[in-house]
Amino acid sequence: MLGEKNAIPTIAVKNLTTAKEFYADTLGLKAVGGDGQEVVVFTSGKSTVHVYRSQYAGTNKATAATWAVGEDVDRMVGELKAKGVKFEHYDFPGTKREGDVHVFGKIRNAWFKDPDGNILSIVNG
């Protein structure tokens, strides 16, 4: 059933103009659709990310979307920092941190927020 279908991250934002700048200019996603007033559709690899206007933007306290970037985690952290992205630091049991990257054995993960406070991450998985 759904296990054979693609999932689409759907992220609530307050201001589509600000969000479009962040997701396109900062993260490098390409806007490919949407009506521009209520929703913008971006491509990311072979998937899409839908960003829509909502009064509940930024209220999720958990990760909204994660990008699997392979061995490029550290390089991408550096590139995003150069664009002004600030990374989140969490205290997870059994985890060490190397700069902004959390290390769980072989897993390397870094979290950051979009302008509305939605939590996003990159992982080597």
Q: CB-hemisphere CA count at 13 Å for 63?
A: 13
Give pLDDT, residue 125: 81
Give pLDDT, residue 65: 96
Q: Do domains 1-56 and 63-125 have the same CATH topology?
A: yes
Other C-beta atoms closer than 10 Å to the C-beta of 91 total: 7
Strand 96-98, strand 119-123: pairing = unpaired
Give pLDDT, residue 78: 97
CATH superfamily of 63-125: 2,3-Dihydroxybiphenyl 1,2-Dioxygenase, domain 1 (3.10.180.10)
Give pLDDT, residue 8: 94
Give pLDDT, residue 5: 87
Mean pLDDT per block of 10 residues along the chain (125 residues) reads 89 96 97 91 95 95 96 97 97 94 96 97 94
**Residue ranges covered by each domain of the chain:** 1-56, 63-125
Q: What is the CATH number of domain 1-56?
A: 3.10.180.10
* Close Cβ partners of 44 (under 8 Å, ≥ 6 residues apart): 29, 67
